[in-house]
C-alpha cells in the first residue's frame, strides 16, 4: 500500500511526463515530415536494408561515397521498426525520435532519484527535465534516431554506474557493461560523455579496491563487445573517418559561459527553472557536495558541441534541489512555524496539502514551463521542410535529369540546421553542391572547406545573381540549377530573386510558395 507521499510523487511524475510527451510529439505533428535534419541518416538506413542488414562499407549520398563508420545501432533499430511494422521509413524518421525522447525522459527518473537520494527530488527533476526545451530540441529531429538512443543509454549507464559504485553487485556490473555497449554503438559524442561522467562517479563513490576492480571490468567488457564493429570499420577505412570527424567538434574555450548563465536551457519567458537551478547550485556548493557542479561544467570541456544536451541533466536536478530545499521551506514558513517543518521529504504530502502557496507555486511552475516549451516548439515548422519545399523537390525528381547539380540558397546561418540542403539529395534525385552532411567523415579537412563554401553562398541570399556567378567561378563549382527557399520570401522584394528573374543567364523553371527554381542557361 503506497503512502500519501508516494502517491503524490507518482502523480507529479506522471503528469509532468505526459506534458513533456505532448511537447515532444507536437513538432512532428505540426511539420508533417521528419523535423529538420535526417536526410543523410535516411540514406544510411536504406543502405542497411539494401544490404540485407549486413554492415555496408559505404553509403552513397549527394554524389559522394561516404565511409560507413557511424555507430550503427540507431540505424538498425530504425530499419527494423520500419520493416517489422511495415511503416514507411520516412514516417519512422518522423515519429521514432519523439518516442525515444519520451523514453529517456522516463529513464531520467531512476537516475535522478538515486543520485539525489530522494524520490521527491527525483520526480521534480524529471518533470523539470521533461519540460526544458534543451532536453527536446536535439532529439526530436529526424537525425535524433541516433541521438535518442545514445542519450537513453547515457541515462541508464549513469544510473547503473552510480549503483555499481555505491551498492556493488553482479547485477549492476552486467547492466553497466550492457548500457555502455548501447551508448558506444549508438552515438560517439554520448560515448565520450559517458566515459568521463562514469569516471567522475567513480572518483566520488568508487575509490576502493572493489570500485577499481568493477571499473576495470566495465571498461574491458564494453571494449570486448564493441570492438568487432570498430575493427570492421578500421579494416575497411583505417582510422581516417574518425580522425576527420574528431575535427568537427568546434572546440570553444568559452563554452562554460552559457552553462553558468543558464541560457543553454533555452527557456522562454522568465527562466524560472534556470533560476531554481542556480539556487540549487548555491545549495550544493554550500554543502560541499560537488558532484552536480562538476557534472554541470565537465561536458563543456569534453565536447562543447553537445555539452548543453548533457549539462541539462544536472541542471534539472539542481532545479529540484532549489525548489525542495529553498522554495518549499520558504513558502511553508509564510503561514506556519518554520521550526515545525521537520524533514521535507517525509512531510512532503502534508506540506503540499496544508500550504496553498506550495500547491500554487508547483502547479504554476509546471504549467509555466510547459507553455514555454510549447512556444519553443513553434519554431520547428520554420526550420523544417515545408510542403512547398517538398513539392518543389518532387517536381525536380520528375522533371529534371537525375544527378543534376543544384545550388541551394536558404539564407540559413547554421549549416547543420539547413533542412532543405540536407533533404534535397534524398527527395529530388539530384545533387546539392553546398550540402555539408557526410563530409565530416572525409579526409583532408574537406568538411571545413565545404563549410566555408556553404556560408559564402548563403551570403548571396540578399544580393544579386552576380554574387552566385562569382561564387561559382571562385570555388570552381559549375551548376545547372539554383533553388531559392526561405519562409516569407517574395520574388518582388528579394534582390536575388529579382536579379535572377531579370538575368539573361537564368530561366525560372518552377515556382512554389516561397520556393523558386531557376535553370542556368548555356
Which residues in 174-187 are b (16+ Cβ under 10 Å) and which e?
ebbbbbbbbbbbbb
Domain housing 450: 385-520
357-412, pLDDT tens digit by residue? Answer: 788 888 899 999 999 999 999 999 999 999 999 999 999 999 999 999 999 999 98
The answer on pLDDT for 251 being more than 60 is no
SS3 state at 111 = helix
DSSP β-bridge partners for residue 154? none
Residue 140 has a pLDDT of 95
Categorise residue 3: left if φ over 0, alpha if ψ from -120 to 50, beta otherwise: beta
> Which of 418, 79, 422, 58 is closest to 241 using CA atoms?
58
Share of the chain above pLDDT 70, in %: 91
Residue 495 has a pLDDT of 85
Mark which of 360, 377, 394 sits at the end of a domain.
377
- Asked if 93 and 34 count as a contact pair (C-beta separation under 8 A), the reply is yes
Distance CA 425, CA 418 (A): 13
Distance from the first to the final alpha carbon of the chain: 80
Distance CA 116, CA 385 (A): 41
Angle between helix axes 39-50 and 419-428 (nearest 10 degrees) is: 30
321-356, pLDDT tens digit by residue? Answer: 999 888 888 777 766 655 555 566 666 667 777 777
Angle between helix axes 119-131 and 272-286 (nearest 10 degrees) is: 140
* 80 shares its domain with 101: yes
* 289 shares its domain with 326: yes
* 436 shares its domain with 495: yes
**What is the mean pLDDT of the segment spanning 238-252?**
76
* 391 shares its domain with 371: no
What CATH number is associated with residue 470?
3.40.50
* 329 shares its domain with 434: no
Place of cell 574491458: 220
Mark which of 377, 393, 411 sits at the end of a domain.
377
* 335 shares its domain with 303: yes
* 145 shares its domain with 112: yes
> Which of 419, 414, 421 is closest to 435 using CA atoms?
421
Residue 411 C-alpha cell reads as: 539564407
* 151 shares its domain with 233: yes
217-243, pLDDT tens digit by residue? Answer: 999 999 999 999 999 999 999 999 988
Mark which of 377, 398, 430 sits at the end of a domain.
377
**Number of domains forming the structure of the chain:** 2
Amino acid at each position: 500500500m503506497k503512502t500519501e507521499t508516494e502517491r503524490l510523487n507518482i502523480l507529479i511524475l506522471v503528469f509532468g511526463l505526459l506534458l513533456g510527451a505532448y511537447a515532444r510529439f507536437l513538432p512532428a505533428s505540426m511539420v508533417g515530415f521528419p523535423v529538420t535534419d535526417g536526410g543523410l541518416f535516411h540514406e544510411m538506413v536504406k543502405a542497411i536494408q539494401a544490404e540485407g542488414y549486413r554492415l555496408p562499407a559505404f553509403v552513397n549520398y549527394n554524389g559522394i561515397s561516404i565511409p560507413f563508420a557511424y555507430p550503427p545501432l540507431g540505424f538498425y533499430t530504425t530499419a527494423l521498426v520500419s520493416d517489422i511494422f511495415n511503416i514507411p521509413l520516412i514516417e519512422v524518421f518522423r515519429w521514432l525520435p519523439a518516442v525515444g525522447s519520451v523514453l529517456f525522459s522516463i529513464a531520467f527518473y531512476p537516475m535522478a532519484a538515486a543520485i539525489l537520494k530522494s524520490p521527491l527530488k527525483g520526480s521534480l527533476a524529471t518533470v523539470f527535465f521533461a519540460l526544458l526545451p534543451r532536453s527536446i530540441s536535439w532529439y526530436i529531429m529526424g537525425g535524433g534516431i541516433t541521438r535518442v538512443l545514445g542519450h537513453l543509454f547515457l541515462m541508464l549507464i549513469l544510473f547503473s554506474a552510480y549503483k555499481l559504485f555505491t551498492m556493488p553487485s553482479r547485477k549492476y556490473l552486467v547492466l553497466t557493461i550492457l548500457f555502455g555497449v548501447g551508448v558506444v554503438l549508438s552515438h560517439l559524442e554520448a560515448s565520450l560523455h559517458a566515459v568521463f561522467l562514469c569516471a567522475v562517479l567513480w572518483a566520488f563513490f568508487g575509490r576502493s579496491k572493489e570500485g577499481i576492480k568493477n571499473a576495470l571490468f566495465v571498461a574491458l567488457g564494453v571494449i570486448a563487445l564493441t570492438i568487432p564493429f570498430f575493427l570492421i570499420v578500421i579494416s575497411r577505412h583505417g582510422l581516417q573517418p574518425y580522425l576527420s570527424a574528431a575535427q568537427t567538434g568546434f572546440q570553444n574555450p568559452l563554452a562554460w559561459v552559457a552553462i553558468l548563465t543558464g541560457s543553454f536551457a533555452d527557456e522562454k519567458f522568465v527562466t524560472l527553472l534556470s533560476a531554481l537551478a542556480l539556487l540549487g547550485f548555491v545549495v550544493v556548493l554550500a554543502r560541499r557536495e560537488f558532484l552536480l557542479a562538476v557534472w554541470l561544467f565537465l561536458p563543456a570541456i569534453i565536447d562543447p558541441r553537445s555539452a548543453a544536451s548533457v549539462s541539462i541533466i544536472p541542471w534539472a536536478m539542481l532545479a529540484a534541489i532549489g525548489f525542495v530545499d529553498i522554495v518549499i521551506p520558504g513558502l511553508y514558513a509564510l503561514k506556519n512555524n518554520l521550526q515545525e517543518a521537520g524533514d521535507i521529504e517525509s512531510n512532503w504530502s502534508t506540506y503540499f496539502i496544508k500550504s496553498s502557496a506550495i500547491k500554487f507555486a508547483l502547479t504554476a511552475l509546471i504549467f509555466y514551463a510547459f507553455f514555454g516549451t510549447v512556444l519553443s516548439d513553434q519554431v520547428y515548422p520554420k526550420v523544417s521542410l515545408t510542403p512547398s519545399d517538398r513539392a518543389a523537390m518532387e517536381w525536380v525528381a520528375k522533371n529534371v535529369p537525375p544527378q543534376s547539380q543544384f545550388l541551394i540558397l536558404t539564407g540559413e546561418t547554421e549549416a547543420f540546421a539547413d533542412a532543405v540542403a540536407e533533404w534535397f539529395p534524398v527527395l529530388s534525385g539530384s545533387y546539392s553542391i553546398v550540402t555539408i552532411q557526410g563530409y565530416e567523415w572525409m579526409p583532408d579537412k574537406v568538411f571545413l572547406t565545404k563549410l566555408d563554401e556553404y556560408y559564402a553562398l548563403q551570403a548571396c541570399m540578399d544580393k544579386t545573381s552576380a554574387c552566385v556567378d562569382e561564387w561559382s567561378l571562385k570555388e570552381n563549382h559549375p551548376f545547372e540549377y539554383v533553388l531559392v527557399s526561405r519562409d516569407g520570401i517574395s520574388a518582388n522584394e528579394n534582390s536575388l530573386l529579382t536579379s535572377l528573374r531579370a538575368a539573361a543567364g537564368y530561366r525560372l523553371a518552377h515556382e512554389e510558395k516561397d520556393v523558386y527554381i531557376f535553370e542556368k542557361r548555356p
